[in-house]
Structures are given as structure tokens and as C-alpha cells.
Structure 1
Amino acid sequence: MQLNEIVPFVAVGFLWGVTNPLIKRGSSGIHSTTENTNNRLYQALLELKFLVLRWQYILPFLLNQSGSLLYVYALQGSEISLAVPIAQSCTFLFTTLTALGLREQMPNKLSFFGIALISIGINICIFSKM
């Protein structure tokens, strides 16, 4: 596996990872749309309207979906045994770093240890295929 085959999956992990905390943040307040109704369909439509009208939700969501499109495109010419772990591991890494940057949660020592293990594991997988 060459570097030009790895970069798209790191980019996918970046798009997915960075947008996860932003989507969470953009959807905050959705519970304020509740009304005294037993109609679940009406409640779902109210929540959908809430989300669609918030750029704080829609923009990260669209970026996340562009990551999914890139993922499908990049899978066409790659080994799935490496593509999936790279994309998923990078997603975890970038989600943790973005949440840290947004001050949503402070990762503990085990999170940083996990990030280090993920990085080592990705490198082992990549170098074993070269």
C-alpha cells in the first residue's frame, strides 16, 4: 500500500472525526422542540425541522456525508483490510482531538494511551503491506 492510497482514508477519518463533535453541538437544543403530543410522527417532523434549519447542524452533517462519499470512492481501488482500520482509527483520533479543542471533554491518560496504540497499530498495518 502506497502513501497515495492511505491519504484518502486519513482524510475520511478527518472529515468524520472533526464533524462528530460539531454535529453533536449543532443538535443541542433539539429537546426543546418537544410538545405535549402523543403523535410520534409529528414529533419527528418537529425535530427534523429543527435540525434542517440550523446551519450549525447542517454544515457539519454535509461535510460528514462528503467524507462518506470519499470513503466509497477510495474503497474502489484499495485493500479493505487496511482501509477500514485506517479510516475508523483516524475517526476516533480526530473526534478526540476535536472534542479536546472544543473543550467538550478532557481526555484522560487512557485516552491518550489509546491514541498512541491506535497510531502504532495503523503504522504496523501499513508497513506490513509495503
Structure 2
Amino acid sequence: MTVLLLVAVAILWGATNPFIRKGSVGIENIKCDSKIQQTIQEFIFLLTRWQYLLPFILNQSGSVLFVYALTVTELSLAVPVTNSLTFIITAFVSKVLGEEPFTKNGVIGMLFVVAGTILCSISTYNSK
């Protein structure tokens, strides 16, 4: 059950990262004289774009779920599983959106990440 919870967190984080990136396109065009005004204008820009807000809210719901997951699972399992799977899910969603192609080395790296995640999970459950 706890591994499924961690996978859900990884999906919420990983799947939303590329959409947050796409939703913030154009923020680099905002130019102001003062740093404070620049920050305010960028903040307003992001708050008025549903393409940014929707994935951001989903991403943050993953953070709430992660905090809950930390109360029911071991930290030594929660952090590596969620972070590694988030990376892989982000790569897959980015590929689906046409952002980044897979490379041979990238796929090999993802396989190592999956293998490491499985080993962490097995190790944690065997120690109980």
C-alpha cells in the first residue's frame, strides 16, 4: 500500500513538471526596472494562466500526499522511490509532449533507476 502511495506522489510530481514548464512559457518576456516589480509581474503572469495553475495545484497535491506518505512509510524508502520515479515519469511525459527525445544512455539510466528503486523497496520490506 505504501509503495502505491509513493508511486501516486511520483505520478503527480512527474506528470505535472512538463506542464508547469509549458504553462510558464512567456514569463521570460516580462521586463521591469526594479526586482520587486519584476517579481510581482511574474507572479501575476503565473496566477493568471490556467496552463500553469492547474498543473501547479496538482503538483502541490502530490506534496501533501508525500507528507502523508512520510507518516506511514520509512524515510529511507519514501525519498528514493518518489524522487527516482518522478524523474522517469517526467522524462516519459516530456517525450509524449515532444519536448525531449530518448537517448540510448538515457534509457539505460532509467533502467538503473528502476532497478535501484526495486532494490530499495525489497530491502526495506525484507528488513521488517
Q: TM-score, normalised by structure 1?
A: 0.93
Identity %: 42
Q: What corresponds to 1:116 in structure 2?
A: 111
Paired with 1:47 and 1:14, the residues of 2 have a C-alpha distance of 27
Amino acid at match of 1:111: G
How do residues 18-57 of structure 1 correspond to structure 2 at under 5 angstroms?
18-35=15-32, 37=33, 39-57=34-52
2:67 corresponds to which residue? 72
The match for 1:10 among 7, 12, 15 is 7
> Offset of 1:104 from its aligned partner?
0.3
Q: CA deviation at 1:106?
A: 0.5
* Structure 1 residue runs without a partner (length 5+): none
Question: Which ranges of 4 or more aligned residues in structure 1 deviate by more than 4 Å?
Answer: none
Alignment length (residue pairs): 125
2:52, 2:59 → 1: CA distance? 11
Q: Counterpart in 2 of 1:100?
A: 95
- Which TM-score applies when normalising by structure 2? 0.94
> What is the DSSP-based 3-state SS (H/G/I as helix, E as strand, rest coil) of the residue aligned with 1:76?
helix
